[in-house]
Amino acid sequence: MNLAYLVPLFPLLGFLINGLLRKSLTKSLIGIIGSGAILASFIVSIMLFLQVKANGAMPIYPLFTFIDTGTFHIDFAFQIDQLSSIFLLIITGVGFLIHVYSTSYMHEEETKHFGRYFAYLNLFVFSMLLLVLGANYLIMFMGWEGVGLCSYLLIGFWFKVDSYNAAAKKAFVMNRIGDLGFLLAVFWLLQKLGTVNYADVFANYKNLSQADITGITLLLFLGAAGKSAQIPLYTWLPDAMAGPTPVSALIHAATMVTAGIYMIARSNILYTLAPVTENVVAIIGLATAILGASIALKQNDIKKVLAYSTVSQLGYMFLGLGVGAYTGAVFHVMTHAFFKACLFLGAGSVIHAMAGEQDMRRMGGLKKWMPITNITFLLSCLAIAGVPPLSGFFSKDEILAAAELRSPILYYIGVVGALMTAFYMFRLYAATFLGNFRGTHEQEHHLHESPSAMTIPLIVLAILAVIGGFIGIPEVFAKNAHWLEHFLAPVFAQSKALQPERLGDTTHELVMIGTVTILVIVMIVWAWGKYSKYEPTTEPESGLGKVLENKWYIDEAYNNVIVKPVNSLGNLLKNVVEKSGIDGVVNGVGRFVQYSARQLRLLQSGQVGNYILFMVLSIVVLFLIFWNQGIIVSFIQKVF
């Protein structure tokens, strides 16, 4: 009766079929198999969700014994509770829409590359589903690695371009650095508790000392920082825009980057018990939010703006986690998946229409040619800016309110970030869709609205971005209307019990919300006005603008401080240690064998007389040994 295993099974089958048969299937068939697999998973996810809604968390569903050695026993088991069912819906739902979108976006590829693309996408969804379904940290890690792999494969999808390969490698390496933290945390847990099952760990957390918990949570956060692009491991995400736009939408906006949030939300009890880590998470999240927003203010490539926006919004989610607003963070994951995927897909639509152009300085006035894309993009921009009553408003507000209860400084800086978000998003919107077209004539002729396979997902996502917030209406507006909080309460119950009850002043909160909303609208109007008549100047940026445009020179800093020394170390090892040292030893052994063989060969003179001489000598030696047997035996016994 338990259908949980079907959810990851369909994408796995889709991966195998599309991957192995990619040269023999037609493009439409590949698209149908790929999207159909995810649709099937989505339907099963809905069934699971309804079941969880009705009956609460399902019992843990073991599939088979994974590792069984001595005292070390780990099951391959799925845990479907409120948290995983929400994530399942997001992953399969948004994933399905993006698959449908990709059938049209990637239409110009050759069939075998088209098949490869869908195979990778399905593999990615499979890994992500494993990640959220797993009942222990090990299964999560398997999914974790799988999504990292698929991210690499998909970023470097157009592998013939070297810079894309470099971007893919960068993503994978930075992910790996985070994975080291994750693994160390898992080993630590294993050593202290002997188990990695969520149920056992969270029930027995009292057996861990404070230092243990702090260490484990910090290491887990390092893993999350790598996967979810936080400081210092975020630079891979803007470079990952080298991949196809639907990939950016799925992996780097809606799903993979939320893996870190999921992991921390799942481990919420451990984080509640480690206030040091919570502060670290909150501060890094906030810093990343501001950093991402500041860089996005000066980027000219639409995908880069969205990438830094993702980095920034992820920072907000971690801020939410750090101040204990676990529901708020998960809520923001959900709304962010909707509006960011819509934004990325809309950007893809624009790029498609502009025949590959991504620089917004050469766009403008596109709303005339692309009405659907325009409306959906506008709605998503309003959502991300946090204009009520769209979804982004509710989720971001929840995080900021929780931050204010923890520390006003976090709140005010977070508000600054939100204002920057509004500004750069509407800068992007206005420069792209308003004003006059700034491109070439041939680009102008090519402009067209995208086919329905691309616009229908946009419409669906835009609708979700508008109404998605209503599942989480905060207390200040309506009592007990926060459906999501009630739904997720069992998952965060342990943490809630430990957190001090913090009641905000309702009036105060309403005033702050109102103020922030007014300021956001001011920023929107300012950006709208400034950039709807945007004439790009050719003079180079200077001062702070230049620093922001160059991403605070962090990539260059990493290059000089980390990449170059590692490269020279590698060269040193290659030329000195490898050539002279190791090769010397190995070749030396060979040369020594040859030398001794040459010398030994001289014994075989061919002269029988020599042979007889050696025989006689040997007999004499044996005789001597025999004669002195006692002495020799006692000597040997003394030495050994």
Chain residues in the site for another protein (CB under 8 A): 605-609, 612-613, 616
Angle value at C-alpha 61, between 56 and 64, nearest 5 degrees:
175
Q: In angstroms, what is the minimal distance from the CB of 601 to another protein?
A: 12
User: What is the three-class DSSP state of 68?
Assistant: strand
Helices (H), 106-209: 111-133, 137-155, 162-193, 198-203
Which of these, 342, 299, 343, 295, lies nearest to 315 by C-alpha position? Answer: 295
Nearer Cβ to another protein (573/613): 613
CB-based contact 161:184 (threshold 8 Å): no
Shortest distance (Å) from residue 579 CB to another protein: 40
- Cα→Cα distances 458→95, 391, 464, Å: 13, 16, 10
Rounded to a whole number, what is the distance in angstroms from the first to the last CA of the chain? 70
Q: 159 vs 614, which CB is nearer to another protein?
A: 614
- Measured from the CB of residue 620, what is the shortest distance to another protein in angstroms? 9
Tokens standing for 415? 């508000």
Task: Tally DSSP H helices, then E strands, for the chain.
Answer: 28, 2
Secondary element (H or E) of residue 69: strand 61-69
Distance CA 359, CA 261 (A): 31
Minimum separation from the CB atom of position 600 to another protein (A): 16
Residue 515 or 628 with smaller CB distance to another protein? 628
Q: Helix, strand, or coil here: 75?
A: strand
The distance of closest approach from Cβ of residue 617 to another protein in the complex, given in angstroms and rounded to an integer, is 10
562 vs 616 by CB, closer to another protein? 616
Nearer to another protein, 409 or 615 (CB): 615
Take residue 246 and report the two structure tokens written for it: 């639907």
Closest to another protein by CB, 54 or 608: 608
Cβ neighbour number for residue 512 with a 10 Å cutoff: 19
Q: Which is nearer to another protein, 540 or 609 (CB)?
A: 609
Q: Measured between alpha carbons, how far is 392 from 425 in angstroms, rounded to an integer?
A: 13
**SS3 assignment, position 57:** coil
Q: In terms of CB distance, is 543 or 606 closer to another protein?
A: 606
Please name every residue paired with 527 in a beta bridge, in sequence order, or none if there are none.
Answer: none
Taking the complex as a whole, the smallest distance from the CB of residue 609 to another protein amounts, in Å, to 6
Per residue, the 3-state secondary structure of 501-535, as one string, reads CCCCCHHHHHHHHHHHHHHHHHHHHHHHHHHCCCC
Q: For residues 613 and 622, which CB has a smaller minimum distance to another protein in the complex?
A: 613
Q: Which is nearer to another protein, 608 or 636 (CB)?
A: 608
Report, in Å, the least distance between residue 632 CB and another protein. 23
Nearest in space to 346 (alpha carbons), one of 156, 97, 554: 97
Residue closer to another protein by CB (options 445, 598) is 598
Q: Are 271 and 278 in contact (CB under 8 A)?
A: yes
- Could you tell me the smallest distance in angstroms from the CB atom of residue 605 to another protein? 7
Q: Evaluate the omega torsion of the peptide bond into residue 389 and state whether it is cis, within 30 degrees of 0.
A: yes
| Cβ 44 vs Cβ 183: under 8 Å | no
Alpha-carbon span 481 to 461, nearest angstrom: 23
Closest CB to another protein among residues 540, 606 = 606
| Tokens read off for 355 | 């025949």
Closest among 58, 66, 44, 55 to 199, alpha carbons compared: 58
Nearer to another protein, 497 or 602 (CB): 602
Least separation in angstroms between CB 580 and another protein: 40
For residue 619, the minimal CB distance to another protein (Å) is: 9
Give how far Cα 463 sits from Cα of 255, 342, 391, 425, Å.
Answer: 19, 10, 10, 19
Q: Which is nearer to another protein, 50 or 613 (CB)?
A: 613
Q: Are 235 and 174 in contact (CB under 8 A)?
A: yes
Smallest distance from another protein to CB 595, Å: 22
Closest approach, Cβ 610 to another protein, in A, equals: 9
Return all residues near 38 (Cβ < 8 A) that are at least 6 apart.
Answer: 10, 11, 14, 92, 95, 96, 99, 122, 125
What token pair was written down for 578? 């490898």
Question: Measured from the CB of residue 635, what is the shortest distance to another protein in angstroms?
Answer: 27
CA-angle at 234, arms to 232 and 237, nearest 5°: 165
Closest CA to 473 of 462, 464, 460, 486: 486
Residue 617 to residue 333: CA distance in whole angstroms:
89
Nearer to another protein by Cβ, of 503 and 608: the residue is: 608
Residue 578 CB, nearest distance to another protein (Å)?
42
Instruction: Count Cα atoms within 13 angstroms, Cβ side, for 356.
Output: 3
For residue 604, the minimal CB distance to another protein (Å) is 8
